[in-house]
Chain A
Amino acid sequence: MMEPMIEVRELTKRYAKYTAVNDVSFQVGRGEIVGLLGPNGAGKSTILRILSGFMPATSGTVKIAGYDVFHDADEVRRRIGYMPENNPLHMEMRVREYLKFRARLKGLSRAKTRERVTTVLEQCALTDVQKRIIGQLSKGYKQRVGLADALVHEPDLIILDEPTIGLDPNQLRSVRQLIKDLGGKHTVLLSTHILPEVEVSCSRVLILHSGEILAADTTENLHRTIFKAGPVVAEIAAPVNELIQAWAEVDTILHVDVAAADGEYSRCSLTPRDGIDLRPIVFNVACERGWRLRELSRGRHSLEDIFVKVTRGEKEEV
């Protein structure tokens, strides 16, 4: 079995009095796109800074591609493309000049630098602005310059801290697509506090709260495990009172909510007992009574719900 790209074990980071990251362990396999999700101050940036080798951990170990971040710092840095929070750039430099500078700094030869800079300029759709001064570019372009810098030395692992913050919807879409395209070839770890972000770009998500990982799974599994008792929505052509009566006869239904929809249809929201999938049962009922069924779906909870539920649960325990 191939060793994981990132292996974090019992990572703790303490500042003078307060603990930013508390006993965090996780793994990220090669080619995965993983989202680090948490509210502001949850410790996302701290974890990413430790992973990139900018800061040491108080305790615990971090291995990137098998190299220890603290002891083999140079080996690790060669394999990481890191874009910090707020995407700092040298604003007075020109796009191509900046990427050339960064590539040389990362140890690429002159010929390799020329080749790679041209490639990442194309990859990030920056070729048209390569001669412009970075400070005069729009935020979307600046963000892509930061991404191009993270990519220029062909790193195995790309770490992005809040890569889409402050972008307009169009810029957002292009940057997200760019990140998505990186998966497979590169491993990507990105942090965000915007929930749809993870749902769109990431295959797996780590939910972080107050320096601890509360949940780590694929977005699909999170839906399933946390909301196995999710309600089923059905739109059926039948009078409201008949529907209420029909549902009352089914004992696996815990809670019923029926309201009239447009025309002859009524909309039912049915909460099951013990996490049973109600959809076949609803279908059978409709068939038996000869009702027309227009819609039958299990309510999909957004990541937002999962997030609220997970972080709330934590608070209640405290």
Chain B
Amino acid sequence: MQAFFTLVRRELGGHFLSLTGYVIVATVLLLLGFSLNDIITKLNGVPIDAPITEVVYSTIYFWLILVLTTPVITMRSFALEKFTGTFETLMTTPVGDITVVLAKFFGALIFFVFAWLPLIAYLLILRRFVDHASAPIDLVALATTYLGIVLIGALFISMGTFASALTRSQIVAAILSFAFVLVLFLLSMRSLVPVEATGWEAEFFVHISMTEHMQEFARGVLQISSLTFYLTLTTFFLFLTWKVIESRRWK
């Protein structure tokens, strides 16, 4: 446990001491600002009968942040350590492979959650200024929306950590995890879904669609099926990462 917390702290230190960390935070702030602008424009027009949290996830900026930042956050985790050689000093300490993988994952996830914090502030500010009768902002919906962001982020970060474990080049890691994330995103947007999909196929694509999941989260609904979807896939990619890290012992 001590090693785990030491490593998570070190990961966070790595994010906050590097230029990339601040570039990520600044980018998220900028995109969230655009997103807020978008929401206000929409609210100023015709009345919307959906909760505001639903307006948040349906802007393009929301998805842009998720798809763009996670590969950049995770690209350094293993690739950089392999490149500089600190991977060797790390793996010769009495710390298990699983601990290292989990610490890398949670370090990146905590940083990701931190970068998203301004969203809560934006929504609380909005809440102050909107007419509660016409456009209520439900705190439960706000919490589940944020949970949805964390779950999607966790999945993307586990994919990115896996990509980073495969290579010693941060660029290759970033491109690879961007490809993983993009495939899932385009499937959710139905861009990659065959038009003639009907029956169980259509159902399948609805089940894996992140936009569908986000809609439920934004309405304050927690469905076991979507929770399982994210948790199993995240665990699966962390398992793959662990095996990749362990594989140096098989060679």
Residues of chain A touching chain B, judged by Cβ–Cβ distance below 8 Å, are 15, 49, 52-56, 73-74, 77-78, 80, 82-86, 88-93, 101-102, 104-107, 149
Contact = CB atoms under 8 A, between A and B. Distances in A.
Given A55-B248, A101-B10, A107-B2, A84 B94 contact: no
B198 interface: no
A49 B92 CA distance: 9
B3 A107 contact: yes
Contact of A92 (B3, B17, B85, B92): B17
A88 B88 contact: yes
Contacts of A82: 89, 92
B128 interface: no
Contacts of A101: 6, 9-10
A80 B86 contact: no
A54 B91 contact: yes
Interface string B91-123: 111111000000000000000000000000000
Given A55-B248, A105-B6, A107-B3, A77 B86 contact: no
A52 B92 contact: yes
Given A56-B251, A105-B93, 18 more contacts: A52-B92, A53-B92, A56-B249, A74-B94, A77-B92, A84-B92, A85-B85, A88-B84, A88-B86, A88-B89, A90-B84, A93-B17, A101-B9, A102-B93, A105-B6, A105-B7, A107-B2, A107-B3
Interface of B: 2-3, 6-7, 9-10, 13-14, 17-18, 84-96, 248-249, 251
B88 A92 contact: no
Given A92-B17, A92-B18, A104 B6 contact: yes
Chain A's interface: helix, strand, loop or mixed, by majority?
A: loop
Counting from the closest, the 5 A-B pairs by CB-CB distance are A88-B85, A77-B94, A104-B6, A84-B88, A74-B94
B85 to A, nearest CB: 3
A224 to B, nearest CB: 37
Contacts, number: 67
B36 to A, nearest CB: 33
Nearest to A88: B85
A301 B9 CA distance: 54
Contact of B14 (A86, A92, A107): A92
A106 B89 contact: no
Contact of A106 (B14, B93, B96): B93
Contacts of B9: 101
Given A93-B13, A101-B6, A101-B10, A54 B94 contact: no
Residue of B9, B14, B88 with highest tally of chain A CB at under 10 A:
B88
A191 B194 CA distance: 61
A93 B90 CA distance: 15
A55 B250 CA distance: 9
22 contacts: A49-B88, A54-B91, A54-B248, A55-B248, A56-B251, A73-B94, A74-B96, A82-B92, A84-B92, A88-B85, A93-B17, A101-B9, A101-B10, A105-B3, A105-B7, A105-B90, A105-B95, A106-B93, A107-B2, A107-B3, A107-B94, A149-B89
Contacts of A54: 88, 91-92, 248
Contacts of A83: 89
Contacts of B88: 49, 54, 84, 88
A53 B97 CA distance: 13
Contact of A86 (B17, B85, B96): B85
Residue of B7, B9, B91, B94 with highest tally of chain A CB at under 10 A:
B94
A88 B95 CA distance: 18
A106 B94 contact: yes
A77 B90 CA distance: 11
A93 B17 CA distance: 9
Nearest to B6: A104
